């Protein structure tokens, strides 16, 4: 497929043109996790071969697709509101077709088609290659649905169309699905069983990004540390693999080592790490390579062993803290972030205090914190009453957020006086006289535009000041990562 990247005058945002001669217009929108944003790039690529180029203008779209999230009730409500807006436009433009993709499509299946005819097409996360057939059905006036989950699909053979890209950073999916069955989580039901993508196709995708000038890749999966390639098939079937397959299998530490070595002038990140699957080999590979960013997103959900067990998290409070201690020992400059759930069923005040004390111990740079939201069909919904009153959940959540904000400021302040390596991504949102990018630890850095620096350059920035989330400084020259 022909894909052309055109840089606009400021070298700021990139207009991605999918295919010459395409006349139909696709408006595609994503909610939820990074994986959804990455999947939408695969969908855009499949549809570019069906005559569709993307548009940013909803009113002119022939086809509107919304890639949806089911993780919390609020996420689903947001999508429902958006569907109402699409339908208002559809009344004026009846030719416009609307499709629901992703986790809500998988969870609600044909309910979408039955309910007041709000959509024409329902497509689950493993069925995007069926989009051309489904579109034909829609064109012939039938409702179209495919929510079959796959054991093999990784979309490894599809070259994603980079949407809304800054031309510098990109996501590359390495695993799909999740086998962990945390009792609160809908993902194993909406995204199916865990499978890993062929490392060769991962390398090819990164090569293509490198050739287009991209400088940073985030390897994506619900649980990247569980990555295991042995020639195809589900992670859970690895035991049944042949001796040859087992001997040549590639795990996450090996994959990370391979990408870092092969592309020394690119920077790598990964997300998400599940504590039970994160092994010291991965930390050691991170320590060995300058171009693997020193940042780990390590969700914990609760600081109480009793609650962790009820969540089926497969590790205790102490095991998690030991892992964190080991990470700080091997990579002292690391930054960590957490996901936390306040008010899981049966959570006591003491459990909540355990969460706060674990946070103090772990000294997270960032956090993503949520009130528990019961999800239909999950084990927690079936077995445990959602018994923590909303006021209590929200009060605990506020305490968690306040502590995180206090820690974030302290953590960010540690960079003052240091010189950090920054990959310039774009102009600062607040000022067109400043560049912005992130340091290795994933903290946003802003500095005045001086010299000839441009997006995609690696520069050293001397930090002079900060807010809780942003470092402020001055560029002092290119870094060793810069290609001349």
Instruction: Calculate the alpha carbon distances from 423 to 13, 167, 436, 465 in Å.
Output: 15, 12, 8, 19
Among ligand SAH, ligand F3S, none, what binds residue 372 when CB lies within 5 to 8 Å by partner kind?
ligand SAH
Residues between 187 and 206 with contacts to ligand F3S, criterion CB under 6 A: 187-188
Does 300 participate in binding ligand F3S (rule CB under 6 A)? no
**Closest separation in Å from C-beta 274 to ligand F3S:** 5
Does residue 466 have a known ligand-binding role? Answer: no
Cα 10 to chain centroid, rounded: 28
- Was 362 annotated as part of a binding site? no
Residue ranges binding ligand SAH (CB under 6 A): 33, 71-72, 184-185, 187, 222-223, 272, 299, 301, 339, 341, 370, 372-373, 375
Classify residue 172 by burial, with Cβ atoms within 10 Å: 0-12, 13-18, 19+.
buried
Q: What is the DSSP string of 240-275?
A: GS-HHHHHT-EEHHHHHHHHHHH-TTSEEEEE---G
Give the separation between CA 355 and CA 359, rounded to whole angstroms. 6
CA distance 458 to 480: 8
CB of 446 to ligand F3S, least distance (A): 33
302 near ligand F3S, judged by CB under 6 A: no
CA diameter of the chain: 65
> Which CB, 180 or 482, lies closer to ligand F3S?
180
CB of 126 or CB of 425, closer to ligand F3S = 126
Q: Is 185 in the site for ligand F3S (CB under 6 A)?
A: yes
Q: How far is CA 242 from CA 228, 232, 246, 248, 302, in A?
A: 14, 12, 6, 10, 39
Tokens of 310: 């009820």
Answer yes or no: are the C-beta atoms of 68 and 124 closer than 8 Å: no
Please say which residue, 61 or 407, places its beta carbon nearer to ligand SAH.
Answer: 407
Nearer to ligand SAH among residue 53 and residue 301 (C-beta): 301
Tokens of 14: 């990139």
Binding residues with ligand F3S: total (CB under 6 A):
10
Shortest spacing between CB 195 and ligand SAH, in angstroms: 15
Instruction: From 179-187, 286-294, 371-379, 395-403, give the range in contact with ligand F3S by CB under 6 A.
Output: 179-187
Please state, in angstroms and rounded to a whole number, the distance separating the CA atoms of residues 408 and 414: 10
Closest approach of Cβ 429 to ligand SAH, in Å?
A: 25
When CB distances are held under 5 to 8 angstroms depending on the partner's kind, the choice from ligand F3S, ligand SAH, none that residue 188 binds is: ligand F3S
Residue linked to tokens 């499949």: 46
Decide: 352 and 342 in contact? Cβ < 8 Å: yes
Cβ nearer to ligand SAH, comparing 54 with 223 = 223
293 annotated to a ligand binding site: no
**Cβ of residue 165: shortest distance to ligand SAH, in angstroms?**
21
285 binds, among ligand F3S, ligand SAH, none (CB under 5 to 8 A by kind): none
Tell me if 378 contacts ligand F3S by CB under 6 A. Answer: no
- Least Cβ distance, residue 393 to ligand SAH (angstroms): 10
- Residue 21 neighbours by CB under 8 Å, 6+ apart: none
Least distance CB 275 / ligand SAH (angstroms):
11
69 known member of a binding site = yes
CB of 183 to ligand SAH, least distance (A): 9
Give the separation between CA 328 and CA 326, rounded to whole angstroms: 5
| 180 binds ligand F3S, rule: CB under 6 A | yes
The interface partner of residue 305, options being ligand SAH, ligand F3S, none and the CB cut-off 5 to 8 Å by kind, is none
CA-CA distance, 226 to 459, in Å (whole number)?
33
Q: Choose among ligand F3S, ligand SAH, none what residue 63 binds, the Cβ cut-off being 5 to 8 Å by kind.
A: none
The answer to whether 338 contacts ligand F3S (rule: CB under 6 A) is no
CB-based contacts of 102, cutoff 8 Å, min separation 6: 30, 31, 32, 36, 39, 66, 67, 68, 69, 124, 125, 190
Summarize as ranges the residues that interact with ligand F3S (CB under 6 A): 178, 180-182, 185, 187-188, 222-223, 274
Please enumerate, by residue number, every residue annotated as part of a binding site for [4Fe-4S] cluster. Answer: 33, 69, 103, 178, 182, 185
């Amino acid at each position: 497929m022909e894909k052309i990247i055109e840089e606009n005058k400021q070298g700021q945002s990139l207009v991605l043109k999918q295919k010459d001669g395409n006349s139909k217009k696709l408006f595609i929108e994503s909610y939820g996790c990074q994986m959804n944003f990455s999947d939408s790039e695969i969908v855009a690529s499949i549809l570019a071969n069906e005559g569709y180029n993307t548009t940013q203008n909803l009113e002119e779209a022939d086809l509107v697709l919304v890639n949806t999230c089911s993780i919390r009730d609020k996420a689903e409500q947001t999508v429902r509101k958006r569907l109402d807006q699409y339908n208002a436009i559809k009344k004026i433009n009846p030719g416009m077709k609307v499709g629901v993709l992703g986790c809500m499509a998988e969870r609600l299946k044909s309910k979408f088609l039955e309910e007041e005819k709000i959509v024409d097409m329902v497509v689950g996360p493993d069925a995007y290659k069926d989009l051309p057939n489904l579109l034909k059905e829609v064109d012939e006036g039938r409702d179209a649905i495919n929510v079959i989950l796959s054991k093999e699909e990784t979309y490894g053979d599809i070259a994603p169309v980079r949407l809304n890209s800054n031309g510098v950073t990109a996501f590359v999916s390495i695993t799909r699905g999740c086998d962990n069955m945390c009792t609160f989580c809908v993902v194993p039901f909406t995204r199916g069983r865990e499978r890993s993508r062929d490392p060769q196709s991962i390398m090819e995708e990164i090569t293509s990004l490198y050739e287009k000038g991209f400088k940073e890749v985030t390897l994506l999966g619900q649980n990247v540390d569980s990555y295991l390639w042995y020639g195809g098939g589900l992670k859970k079937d690895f035991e049944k693999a042949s001796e040859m397959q087992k001997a040549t299998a590639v795990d996450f530490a090996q994959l990370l080592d391979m990408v870092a070595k092969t592309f020394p002038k690119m920077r790598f990140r990964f997300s998400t790490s599940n504590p039970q699957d994160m092994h010291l080999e991965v930390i050691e590979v991170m320590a060995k390579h300058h171009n693997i960013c020193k940042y780990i997103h390590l969700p914990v959900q609760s600081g109480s062993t009793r609650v962790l067990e009820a969540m089926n998290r497969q590790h205790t409070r102490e095991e998690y803290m030991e892992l964190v201690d080991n990470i700080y020992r091997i990579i002292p400059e690391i930054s960590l972030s957490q996901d936390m759930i306040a008010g899981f069923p049966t959570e006591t005040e003491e459990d909540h205090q355990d969460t706060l004390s674990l946070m103090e111990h772990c000294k997270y740079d960032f956090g993503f914190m949520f009130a528990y939201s019961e999800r239909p069909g999950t084990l927690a919904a079936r077995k445990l009453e959602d018994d923590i009153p909303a006021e209590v959940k929200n009060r605990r959540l506020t305490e968690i957020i306040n502590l995180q904000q206090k820690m974030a400021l302290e953590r960010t302040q540690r960079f003052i006086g240091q010189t950090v390596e920054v990959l310039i991504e774009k102009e600062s949102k607040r000022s067109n006289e400043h560049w912005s990018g992130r340091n290795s630890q994933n903290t946003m850095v802003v500095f005045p535009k001086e010299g000839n620096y441009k997006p995609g350059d690696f520069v050293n920035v001397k930090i002079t000041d900060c807010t809780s989330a942003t470092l402020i400084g001055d560029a002092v020259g290119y870094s060793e990562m810069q290609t001349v």
